[in-house]
Structures are given as C-alpha cells and as structure tokens.
Amino acid sequence: MGWTELHAAGFNAWSQVLFKPKSRRPEEPKDLAVFTRVLSSLTNDFRDVESHLSYTLVTTSSETLIAGTIPREQKELFSLPKRSSYRLIAEAANGKVTVLDCAGNLRMYDSARQFCENEKDCVVFPGYSEVIQLVAYEVGFAVLDRKGRVSTWGDERYPMCLGREATEASPANFPRLVRDLTDLPSGNILKIAAGGYVIAALTDGGDLYCWGGHAAQVPPIRRLDGTPNLVDIDEQEISDVAVGDSHLIVLTEDDKVLVIGNNSNGQLGIDAKRAWTWTQVELKLGEQSTVMAVRAGPKNSFLIVENDWEVDEDMSDTEEEAEMDEAEDKVPSATPKRSEDEEMRDV
Amino acid sequence: MSTPPFRQLSSHCRQAIEGIYNGCDNGKHPGELGSLPGHDSPLVQLLQRQASVMMNLPDFESSLGETTLLRKRLEDILSISYSKFYHYLFSDVPLWLRQLYTDASILKFSEQFLSSSLARYLAGGEYHKGANPDKELTDMVKTLDLAIVMAGAAGAKRGRAWIDEALYLLQQCCAELPAFEDVDEVRQFLNLKSEHSLPTAWDHLPSFSTFEPVSIPISQPIKRTRRLTHESFQSYLDSPAHRATGAQPLIISGLADDWPARTTRLWCKPSYLLSRTFGGRRLVPVEIGRSYVDEGWGQELITFREFISSYFPPSSPTSTLDSPMSLPTSKKDVAYLAQHPLLTQIPSLRADITIPDLCYTSPPPNPFHRGPAAEEVDEPKLNAWFGPPGTITPLHTDPYHNLLVQVVGRKYVRLYGPWEGRRMRPRGREGGIDMSNTSEWDVGVEEGWDERPLDEDLAAITEKGDGDEAMESSAVAFKGIPYVDCILEPGDTLYIPVGWWHYVRSVSVSFSVSFWWN
C-alpha cells in the first residue's frame, strides 16, 4: 500500500504551490528553484492537480484543496457542486470559460463572472458527449474524444494555435477537427495538454505532437507552427506531457522527467535561465518512488509521485520545512538583470 | 533655497509608492486600481504587497536581499500584464490592465531611482566603483517609456502627469552634476549629461541628409494655395467645385512658417532632437520593414538614438566625417516612426509646433461612407511620422479629415477619390483584423520604385497560372484609375479629405506631423 506526493517547482508569488496554513507562510513567498515536496500523505483517491496563475487546485474524490489566492468567481467555478454538475471545466488565460455538461454540450462563457451570474448565458456547441478531455490555452480551447479526435477553437488572431486552417466553413471560434492528428503512425491521440500559445497531443505509441506559437514571443520548443509537428526527444517514448505559458515538461516511458523553455521563475526545476533543448531534471526521489504524472501551471511545474512502500504516515513537518527553505534559498535565477526583459522587447 | 531636484524626485517616488499602496485597496479610492471595473484581484494584491515592501524599506541600498525579490516580482507583474495585452485589440485593452502596467512601471522606476548610484551620489553618498550611471539612466527612462507606449501611461492619480514630472526631474538631477565638476568622481558622471553621452557624428551634423535615392515624378499635381484663413478654408470645405465629390485635396503653404520646429528649435538638426529625447534615450515605436502589409513586417521599441544611428543615411552620400558613420544594419531594413503620438510622449517637442486653426473648422462627413461615422474628436489627434528615405504608408483611407504638415525633408503623396470603391481593391479580414481600409495595390511596386515582394510573385503565379500575364493585366487596370499627387516641401501642408485613399512615401529623410479632426 503506497501513498502519493506532490512535488512542485517555480512561480510562487501567491504561495500557490504551498499547501500550508496561512500563519506559517513567509510574508513575501519566494519561487521554488528545484522540485520540492509540497504535499504528501494524500489519500489514494488523489485525482488531479491543476494550477492557474495565482492558485493551485488539488482534487481528491471528497474535496478540493486550494493553495494561493483564488478570486471569488473562480472559487465558485471550480467548487465541488459545479464539478459534479459538469463533466469538465476549463478556463483560458483570456478569461473565457468552457464547460462540458452532462448532455454532451460544450458551453462557452465570456468569463467566470458570466458563468456565475447566469449559467444559461453562453455559446453552446452540441454533440460532444464523447469528449474525455478539455484543455485551455491562452486564448482558446482543445477537446479530445474517446476516438482520439482533437478539436480546437479560439481567438482567430492566433490561428497557429488551432492546428488547422481557419476558413469560412471551419471558423476559428467553433470547435473543429484537427485533421492532421488522425491516422497517425503511432496510434490514436490519448491525451492532450495546453498552455500559453502551445498545444500538445500524445499518441498511444508515445509520440508527442505540438503546434501553436505567437508571432511576438520566443517559442518554448523548436519547429512550432500551425501544423501539428512530431516532437522528437531523442526517440524516447513519452507517457505524459504538460504545458505552461512558455515551458513544457514531459515524462518518458522509462520515468525520466525532461523540460524545455523559459525558466524565469524556476518552473523547469533546473539551474539555468532557459533550456533551449530538452533537459533532464535530476530528481532526488527515494528508490521506491516513481513519477506518475507531470502537470504545469503558467509558470510552475508539478510532479505526482507515488511511493511503493510503507512509512510513517505523517511526514514530520520540520523535515518538510527544511527541505522547502533549502529550495527557496537556491534561487540563483531570481537576480534579474534589470535590462534583460526579453519579453518586453519582442513587441 | 529651493529643494534640490533629487530630493523632489525622491519624494515624488515615495508619494507614488504610498498612493499605489492605498489605491490597491478594494473599492476604496475612485480611479485607483482597486476600484477599476474588472480588475484582476490577485495581481492587484501582488502589486500592493510590493508597494508595501518598498514603504518598509528604510533605504534602498542597504536592503539588497529584499530588493532582489521585489525587482523580480515587479518584473513578474509587468510580464504577466503585458501578456494579457494580447488578449485584446490594442484599442480595447481595459483601463485596469493599462493602469496596472503603469503603476507597476512607476514602482519599478522608483526602485531603480532610489537605489541608483546617481541618487546616492546627489544625496552626498560615496561614488560606487563599477557603477554604470549611464546605463542606470537609460534603464530608468526605458521603464517609464514602456508605460507610455505600451499602456498609454494610464491612471488618473499618477499616470502621464506623474511620469512627465519624473522624467523632467530626472533631467534636472543630471543637469546638477556639472556643479560638482571639481570633485574627481563627478567627472565620471559627466557623460550623463544627455547631449554628451555616447557622442557620435550625429551630434555634430548641422542637419539630416537631403539625399533622395529614388526620383519620383509628379504627374497630376494637386492645387496649391497660399496661407488660408479659417473662414476661407471653411467655405472651401462647404462649397466644393463638384458637389458629388466634396472638397478636393489642397496644398496650403505658409501654414507652419512660424513654428519653432522650423525657425529656432530646428527639427532638422539631429543634435536638437537628441537633446529633447534625453540624449536619445527615449524609446520610440518603429515599424521595421517596407510596408505594413508585407510578410516579416514588425514593430519594435528602440531608443531614439538607435533609430537615427542605425537607420538614417549619413549627411550626404559623399560626406566625409571624422568618424565613420554607422550605416543601416542591413540594407533591406527600413524603419519608420509612423503614426505615433510622439508629441504627447515628449511634451517639450509639442511646444515646437502649433495646431493650425484650420483644424477647428467643421468639415462635412464622408459622402461615400455608409454606416456609422467615426467618433467625434474634441481636439485634433496629433501623430508624428519620422523616417529615412523610402519609408512608406501603403494606400489606405482614414476615418478623419487630415492636415499633413511637412516639417523636415520631402514627401510624395498620391491620392485617389473615395468614389473609386472596388477599383481600389480593399483588403478583407486578415488574421482576425479588418483590413478593408487598406488597398491591395502596392503603388511603389506598380510604379517600379520598389521590387515586388517575393511571396506576392509566387502567389500571383500559382493563382493565375501565368504570372507575367496576370501581372500585366493587373498593371493596366491600376494605371487606369485617376489620381492626384504631389511632393510636399518643408513648410507645406496637405489637406486630405476624409475617405480619400492615400499613399505616402518619404523621398528624403522626412518628418511630418498629421492632424486628424472631424
């Protein structure tokens, strides 16, 4: 009988990766420069982690743990009652919200506020009862269905994120099939992930496809455009992928964690300003520990780690604290040179 | 004795920090961040915490540990808000977001100034070896210019007025330094004096080059007139020769003869423009590339000095200067400071011109325009257009009447009547943006002044089968459309009636100011 742990690295300005009582938090929380255990002894019904700009939600079958600062509307949007009345919920960085209702309709709202004020005030796309995954990127959404079909829609000014042509018959703001992701050599798409202006899809055979991009931003990976491209990471099979604002994190079939992209807030968990190529993260996990999944917030990353053997249920807090302090102190990248605001220059 | 400028600027910063801190309280202070509709409360809260950190710092130099995280967080807020700008059309970016960016910039500037070696020195402190005051200044100016250009320096309590004052005081701080000239360390500071920093050949040029790489003939000259009174211009607008077409374009001379920009504070002198732009440190947005409809065209923010030294031709093709003039970085690169409210960004330049009183006439609406008219503007909208020879604005229409005043150099303008309609081949929606005010015709290419962009060539060939033939018939169609044209000389003003298609091209180095009104 094992237990699950959550490890995190990266942006923490709202203590959004620290699941600790308020009084114990430092006044101005630092980012975590290396992957650090932030939650342990979770029950085995641990379901998922999703991280937004200022807060992180950890879902178990019975409750939702929240770290960080969550605005009122988002708190309602992601509350358990809403989670049980809708099959899937996602919020894009531009504020738009899409939910999948039990009748298989995708319902899109202008904002979480609009959703809270009137759940009927939305655009409805019917016929999506087969959908198993709904993800949001910066200015739009993608869904994956049981048959491995991916559909995308979003802001027409960023057509590369659609992974398909935007035409009159297949407009940008309606969910439409990404044809390039059908009949792939390594099987159907099993999983999708999105963040920033990048969308990723993983096949049955462990191939990773990515598309997207923004004309004024440095792309986190090479060969990023409006067509799903196969991303070759030394020919390794990929079992999980997560996408942040400007970084990606993958888990390989042989349990390695690799990262690429911007490390402005320590989201890669490595000691570098940026990773231009896929870089393996050296993790200090016990022998019996295995990374089961990777997740990403806009500027942070998470590992869901499973332990196979029995230990004291209650990890001593002092130990955890010490670990955390160590991570926070290792913030070499947190000394920005004031002139180097790269992103500002790419106007 | 009056308060020294560095003390004034310090207290200007301290007040802003406190004002921002209080303004972030939810719903308490009208016009402040915490009260603006739709504001993102976690981001506003993060900004407030940074203001609080700054209020509690006894002094900035001895608190390095805390300022490291503070700088990082201010940078985080700026980059997060900047990425949110892309969620909206430029004109639709909500006020709270622009003000968040501006207030975060004001905090960043305050931190930069209060911890700078300049402030420390003026306060009677030691000079730090290894300090780079010139770079510090450039960074400080950049911080505030980004807030002006990206976010419109939004904010009722601070905003543009605060920023203008801060930049003024900062310049005063620099001006104070020479008084200490006998002190050894101060000499190192003296290269701060804006006019003397990074001296290049530009600072000694009597005027910009008048070189014209392409000669452009006039074939259908626009009517010219001497200086007009407000009344006679109004009657020109009201009683056109042809009632159906409305008033025609007109060149008015003498309108700008008494502008300081043309008499005493000459805009044709590089050194004058550099001195008005904090030694060329002010950031300006420039368009890089031949035309905004070309592939690979983009906008960049660069310092005024970089703009001039990288993209402008040397004084004349045969000129011999004592130091080698830096040539344009790449021959293909053209940079154009276009449609930018430069005179709002730099108020001291605004004092060099006057708004022509002809802008206070009541012009008729566009007779060929269906649908809602453009919103009425109370004051004329001023834009600066400054660039090397060959910078163009492709054929397009504006929703305003326009007086285009030529201040420096010569500019070619060609106009087509608003009744030409479909013959002008208006563009459609491109990349989610309505481009119907821009024509598909590329005047420079059709007339042989520019090379046809490569991608267009290919498109024409694949579409029509035979590229040459398609282009030939296209050229015939284009030549058949009647137009009028002119070359504006320094001091000329061109009246462009609302709705007229116009193609504008600088023949030499050119600086113009446009006044839009309705």
Domain ranges for chain B: 5-192, 224-365+375-426+488-517
In angstroms, what separates the C-alpha of A141 from chain B's closest C-alpha?
14
CATH number at residue A284: 2.130.10.30
Condensed to tens digits (0 to 9), the pLDDT of residues B18-35 reads: 999 999 999 899 999 999
CA-based nearest residue to A49, from A313, A300, A338, A333: A300
pLDDT at A331: 40
**pLDDT band, very low/low/confident/very high, at B497 (cuts 50, 70, 90):** very high
Put simply, whether A336 touches B (Cβ < 8 Å) is yes
Residue spans of beta strands (DSSP E) within A26-70: 32-42, 48-51, 55-59, 64-68
Interchain CB distance below 8 Å, A265 and B76: yes
Q: How far is CA A243 from CA A132, A249, A297, A300, B404, in A?
A: 18, 7, 8, 10, 49
In this predicted structure, the answer to whether residue B378 has a pLDDT above a threshold of 90 is no
Task: Please say whether the dihedral angle defined by the alpha carbons of residues B108, B110, B113 and B116, taken in this order, is positive or negative.
Answer: negative
CB within 8 Å: A14 and B42: yes
Task: Give the closest-approach CA distance of B490 to chain A in angstroms.
Answer: 32
Report how many Cβ contacts below 8 Å link chain A to chain B: 89
Any chain A CB within 8 A of the CB of B82?
Answer: yes
Show the tokens assigned to B272.
């004058």
Mean pLDDT of chain A: 87
Closest residue in chain B to residue A93, using alpha carbons only: B84
* pLDDT per position as a tens digit, B297-320: 788 899 999 999 889 987 544 443
Lowest mean pLDDT among B10-24, B31-45, B428-442: B428-442
Mapping DSSP to helix (H, G, I), strand (E, B) and coil, where does residue B199 land?
coil
- CA nearest A155 in B: which residue? B432
DSSP per-residue codes, B465-514: S-HHHHHHHHHHHHHTS--EEEEEPTT-EEEE-TT-EEEEEESSSEEEEE
pLDDT of residue B1: 60
Kindly list the residues from chain B whose CB atom is less than 8 angstroms away from the CB atom of residue A156. 431-432
- Per the rule left: phi > 0, alpha: psi between -120 and 50, beta: everything else, B165 is alpha
Strand-pairing partners, residue B486, are B413
The residue with tokens 């701060």 is B192
Higher-pLDDT residue of B60, B449? B449
Least confident span in A1-15, A203-217, B51-65: B51-65
Which residue pairs, CB below 8 angstroms and at least 24 apart, start in B32-36?
Answer: B32/B156, B32/B157, B33/B96, B33/B99, B33/B100, B33/B103, B36/B94, B36/B95, B36/B96, B36/B99
Distance from CA of A347 to the nearest CA of B (A): 6
- What the block records as the tokens of B215 is 């000669």
The stretches of B56-127 forming alpha helices (DSSP H) are 64-85, 95-114, 117-122
DSSP A298-334: SSEEEEEEEE-S---SS--HHHHHHHHHHHHH--GGG
- Give the position of tokens 């959703």: A115
Comparing A132-136, A307-311, B108-112, which segment has the lowest mean pLDDT? A307-311
Position B237 scores a pLDDT of: 92
Give alpha helix (H) positions in A217-292. Answer: none
CA distance B86 to chain A (A): 9
Q: What is the pLDDT of residues B422-436, one digit of tens each?
A: 899 999 888 778 898
CB-CB neighbours of B223 under 10 Å: 10
- What is the average per-residue pLDDT within B223-243? 89
Q: Which of A31, A94, A157 sits opposite B431 (nearest CB)?
A: A157
The answer, for A293 touching chain B at a CB cutoff of 8 Å, is: no
pLDDT at B146: 96
Give burial (CB, 10 Å; 0-12/13-18/19+) of A118.
Answer: exposed
pLDDT of residue B320: 39
Of A170-184, A276-290, B40-54, least confident by mean pLDDT is A276-290
pLDDT of residue B120: 82
**Domain coverage including residue A133:** 3-345
> Does the pLDDT value for residue A345 go beyond 90?
no
Can you state the angle between helices B5-23 and B41-55, rounded to 10 degrees?
A: 140
Identify the pLDDT of residue B370: 67
pLDDT digits (tens, 9 = 90+) for A312-328: 554 444 444 545 555 55
- Name B101's Cβ contacts closer than 8 Å, sequence gap at least 6: B78, B81, B82, B85, B147, B150, B151, B154
Task: Place A215 in a pLDDT band, splitting at 50, 70 and 90.
Answer: confident
**Distance from C-alpha of B281 to C-alpha of A339, rounded to nearest angstrom:** 14
A343 interface with B at CB cutoff 8 Å: yes
For residue B280, pLDDT over 60 is answered with yes
How many C-beta atoms lie closer than 10 Å to residue B135's C-beta? 11
Q: What distance lies between CA B307 and its chain's CA centroid?
A: 12
- Cβ contacts of residue A139 below 8 Å, gap of 6+? A92, A93, A94, A96, A154, A155, A157, A158, A161, A197, B86, B87
CATH number 1.10.1060.10 given to B224-365+375-426+488-517: no
Nearest Cα to Cα of residue B503 among B446, B434, B421: B446
pLDDT score recorded for residue A344? 33
Query: In this prediction, what percent of chain B has a pLDDT beyond 70?
Result: 85
The band of A330, judged by pLDDT with boundaries at 50, 70 and 90, is very low
A343:B299 CB<8 A: no
Give the tens place of pLDDT for each residue, A130-144.
999 999 999 999 999
Predicted model pTM: 0.88
Sign (positive or negative) of CA dihedral B95, B97, B98, B103: positive
B76 — contact with chain A (CB < 8 Å)? yes
The predicted pLDDT at position B455 comes to 63
How confident is residue B231, by pLDDT bands cut at 50, 70 and 90?
very high
Q: Is the pLDDT of residue B475 over 90?
A: no
Q: To 10 degrees, what angle do helices B454-464 and B467-479 make?
A: 110
Which pLDDT score is estimated for B327? 43
pLDDT at B306: 92
- Give how far the C-alpha of residue B65 lies from the chain's centroid of Cα atoms, to the nearest Å: 38
3-state SS assignment for residue B337: strand
- The Cα B276–Cα B346 span in angstroms is 8
pLDDT at B58: 72
User: A241 exposed, middle or buried (CB, 10 Å; 0-12, 13-18, 19+)?
Assistant: buried
Instruction: Given the cut 0.95, state whether the ipTM is greater than it.
Output: no
Residue B462, pLDDT above cutoff 60: no
User: Residue B321 pLDDT more than 50?
Assistant: no
Bigger pLDDT: B467 vs B36 = B36
Contact B68 A28 (CB under 8 A): no
d(CA B41, CA B362): 45
Q: How many domains in chain A?
A: 1
| Res. A211: pLDDT tops 90 | yes
Interface of A with B in 142-161 (CB under 8 A): 155-159
The answer to whether residue A53 neighbours chain B at the CB level (below 8 Å) is: yes
Judged by average pLDDT, the poorest of A202-211, A296-305, B183-192, B208-217 is: B183-192
List the structure tokens of B268: 């044709």
pLDDT in tens, A249-272: 999 999 999 999 999 999 999 999
Mean pLDDT estimate for chain B: 86
Q: Please judge whether A344 and B46 are an interchain contact, meaning their C-beta atoms are less than 8 angstroms apart.
A: no
Q: Is B83–A335 a contact, with Cβ atoms under 8 angstroms apart? A: no
What tens digit of pLDDT does each residue of A23-82 get?
Answer: 655 678 999 999 999 988 655 567 789 999 999 999 877 788 899 999 999 999 998 888
SS3 category, B347: helix
* Higher local confidence (pLDDT), A292 or B293: A292
